[in-house]
Structure 1
Amino acid sequence: MHNQKEEKDCCDEMEIPKTKEVASSCHGVGGDGQSGHSEHSSHGSHGMNHGSAKSFLTRFGMVTILLLPLILGTKLADRALGYSLSMSPFLEFVLLTVILLIGSVFFLHATHELKARKPGMMTLVSIAVVAGYLYSVSAIFLPELGMGFGIEIATLIWVLLFGHYLEAKATATGGDALSAVAELLPQVAHRITANMESDVPISDLNKGDTVRVKPGEKIPADGEVSDGGAHVSEALLTGEAKPIRKERGMQVVAGSIVLDGSLTVRLTRVGEHSTVGEIKKLVQRAQGTKPNSQRIADRAAGFLAYIALAVAIVAGFVWYAIGAPIALSFTVAITVLVIACPHALGVAIPAVTALTTKRASRAGMLIKDLSKLEILKSVDTVLFDKTGTLTEGSFGITEIYQNGDHKDDEAILIAASLEAHSSHMIAATFIDEARKRALTIKELGEFENHEGEGVSATLDGVRYYLGTATLLERVGIELSQRKYGLGTIVYLGSEKKHISTFILADKIKGESKLAVSALMKLKVRVAMMTGDNEETARAVGRELGIEQVFAGVMPEGKLEIVRTLQKDGKIVAMVGDGVNDAAALAGANVGLAVGGGTAVAIEAGDMVLMSGNPLL
């Protein structure tokens, strides 16, 4: 709270003025890159990520209309309806060609698969469709070739478009992690040149520039404080819930939020070299890699395409070798290709996708990558972030020790009344607690702010002091000597008497212990990673029964822990909510982001626990 040590901690979050920061394109921290994560995952299934649900539905509707005349011209329609549509060869050619063009979205994905040298279902579909179309068009104008595959090809496109409409609708996520990274930075910065302040886009900032950051604003780049003082929240980047006092000569990082006061900062690392830029690169690198199980699935999809193509060619050659006409040989080869395309899966898998997504959504889980469900059942190691995942992520009063006859409500009321006149960060903690207890804050007199130590005021004729041990001892109040729990300690005293002691800390979520216990009963290894200090991390670990705790871990360290476990053959699920978790979420076999966390973490995760409840 009012501590004058080099890195002074304050003890709570307060409401920050809302700013209008939007994604920017500064020096490599932009968000316009294609997320490799989703693109890669598409190789492992028939899912596609290009094209919205609306686009697929429009294409499906158009093909439905064009397909009807082709169906009405078949013998099946004649037998069923007693009527068949007479159609000129040219009209049939036009209908098939338009349907092919509408389904050309599949060719785009086949091109991506081939460029990546990872042929999959879209490659197989595209070969079958093109081959069938060419043969069918030839058969239209050369009747001696026999019956074509017009209806089959058109139906295949129709079925796949509907299937991908279902899948796109079920798995739409509305953004990616890389674009969300950019939102950590402000759109503009207040640059100081020749004692004049001017607003400039952060893309114009250079190393050595000086900027001013005002209350409620985000720091645009890494730097050193050259003037001013303020409490800064680095929770999104480090996982440390307590705001930290920053003064002249101290380092600040891009994306941190200035909560009170004003800072003048000389920039030392900008753009892609800043902390936010490094996080973007970590996420990018993690998304560009895949776990072993996903790579095996991708190879299987490629083998299917190769095998189907090889069997089709061999079948055609065999028939030709035994004396069949070349037209019949081509028919056999194309028939094999068309049969190899899994028509049923084109609808069945997306239908299951839609149902699974809907049921998960009702349970409070948003599934962004359904292929991860297959991996989730095999997970043997779960890594939890601490702040905001296992804990509430904000400070509250966890314990109250009375040193006299006062009740807890009385002590809270006195403390909140004193802090109502303070601009310090700790004030919000006591005021919020008083509101929760439906206490009415009292008027006081002779308020005094003791810089770095606390506050004092007169209430109902009594002089009260709230703050550090140094403040109370300086005014002659003798403190009781007892061992308190972990957290920030705030003392309350009056005249010469020590009244109460408050412990402020990040509260553990009520469901966290149940979630950890349930996982351990399933023989799943549980560990915790945090950027917080060792002592606090170990205390939370003991409370939850987690033996393996990694403390003081930066974003790259979290990703490295995930990688190390994977190299040891572990199937890792990562659960987190902060920017510092994004790379680990993207790199884990399954990433579970906590709802209410940062946009970066949510976009980097494969699934989102919407309620923020780890027990889900």
Structure 2
Amino acid sequence: MSLALDRKSDVSASPAAPATSQKPAGHVVLDITGMTCAACAGRVEKALSRVPGVSLASVNLALERADVDLTSADVTPEALAAAVERTGFGAHPRPPSAAERRAEQQAVEAERAAAERRQLLLLIVSALLTLPLVLPMMAAPFGLSLHLDPWVELALATPVQVLVGARFYKAAWKAVRAGSGNMDLLVALGTSAAYLFSLYMLLDRGHAAAGHLYFEGAAAVITLVMFGKWLEARAKRGTTAAIRALMTLRPERARVLRHGAEVEIGIEEVRAGDSVIVRPGERMPVDGTVIEGESEADESLITGESVPVVKRPGDRVTAGALNGVGRLTIEAIAVGEDTTLARIIRMVENAQSGKAPVQRLVDKVSAVFVPTVIGIAVLAFAGWMLAGHGFENALIAAVSVLVIACPCALGLATPAALVAGTGAAARAGILVKDIEALERAAAVDTVVFDKTGTLTEGRPALTDAVPLAGTDEDTLLRLSAAVQSASEHPLAKAVLAAAPQGALPNVENFQAQVGRGVVGTVEGKRIAIGNRDLMREQSVDIGPVEPVLAKIESEARTAVVVSADGAAIGVLGIADPVRPEAAEAVKLLARRGVRSEMLTGDSEAVAAKVAGALGLTDYKASVKPADKSGALSALAAAGHKPAMVGDGINDAPALAAAEVGIALGTGADVAVETAGVTLMRPDPRLVAAALDISRRTVRKIRQNLFWAFVYNVIGIPLAAAGFLTPALAGAAMAMSSVSVVTNSLWLKRWRPRFSSGE
């Protein structure tokens, strides 16, 4: 590979980043309150979509959040919130600043915690009142007769129906006013029918109504649904723990040096270039570079790396990282919404708020689900009446249908798994941009690695400086370093680091030839540094240095020719060591049935050595940056699902062309923006981990949808046929939502495993 073949950061020499689709005129995020099922989310989505100027509205039930894309900047967040409130739900525009969002998040968390406590109190009261009602039913199989007086049953059931069940009536009324149905409407209809029928029988027959009362069914349904919603709320808090953990990492105050004095200010007042003081045990308030002091930083919640990282002058630090025992002075580079931590939070939020294609189908089903269930309940009632089984049996069958058919599980199936899976990935240092990237990553069967900075350290060092006769080593290095001083390429830095001490001469007419090398004028001489292609372009005869080139390349080092005014004056050898984790990364992928390939602009000899060290049988050498995307397209045309792993500007087209692009977060910004998945630390083993969590999350989504549909497909016919009582139907309905969320929570236990015995 030549000195500029895998250019990582020289923007002027890089190909243009791939064009992106036109962005909407604006984007608004609303926090929604009061949703209880997928039908509720559908109502909110429909209300927002009807607002003029809205191009797309997406509502996430698990996160209780709405994302709205606008075609007109004239649409205000307040107008959108008003549209939601007209449907009976609460809506609050999310504040733009990080400090305001953090304050709102804390207020929302406090409100949810208080609501959860109130819900728990109501649940306890409901359970205490319901238990005496269901005890006779539970004791009957054991030959015990514990029947209560009918009037006692009424006294116990009425508070449950009227007070505890009030939330269902309120939500059901809002749904009816909005011209739609939801889970609350089904519960309200079913329990009211059972309660009112029992009340009628008691008032009409008195004690003779014993045995024909269903107070226990109505009370049990309300209690079980309340229990299910309480468990669901707790589980949902667990799935969103990743975002809350990241939000808590951002300090609200920072100490900066102003006019030689240490001043404490709000984090929003810190500016790029400020000198920020970080004391032992504090979190880094900004992204920056250490200019004074030495310490260790715990970056585990940001990069997933559990081992503290030593920080010395010149090292980068990331906002949110926990400082160790030393005092640091850092120069702020990125502040506020531009910090790495803020970008991580945005990426995780965007991924968790997305919708899988299958979820859109579920939303359509949910929109007609409640009316369909009511229709089935009416048919069941009519069928039992026509069959001559009487009003009582017909009513119980209809009530059971209404109670068991809850769309909650359908609405939670996808978002619950998505939130838990992306949260677990974020804790491990794997950021997924959106649900589409997650689904594509789950299907990947081939991983294509860039070499420099991905499979290798990306911190090359000069190993050889071989001058030709008439040139000494110091002159060769001085002229080379002078030209390379205008480049930011990692190989250029290796030459600069090895240059003789002292001021370097100026370079003029500098040009970076992508994939070939660099050219510039130094001390009146036209100096060219690069590979054989560049030398041919410059009409340089490399015959005299060919043996030296071949020897350096045979030892897996990069060799470049240096010429002056069209004549070769020497050869430089540069080594970029292979990452110690790279070989294991290839093995981990192989165990998952995923092929690994390498694309590099380096020479065949160097590529062969690196591939041999990693156990790679498939690689392509001397690949120009512009040809990398073509190689990915060829794999796709052959029926493969390729992922591209890279970190440089020149990798961006290939990252965009792949089924899914995987970028190292330590690489160029354009690579990170283009990729669907970002690894927050340069460990290639995380590629296998990213594919693993993607597959597990997609599998959980499918499992959740299967169980959600199974509950209804099996439960509704059983209820209509009279095999389920309202109490059993209520238990099944409550457990459907709980099982879906609990199944998703297993993803929180996921951790990357790198042991050879995995």
TM-score (normalizing by structure 2): 0.41
Give the number of the structure whose residues are more often helix, by fraction.
Answer: 2
TM-score (norm 1): 0.48
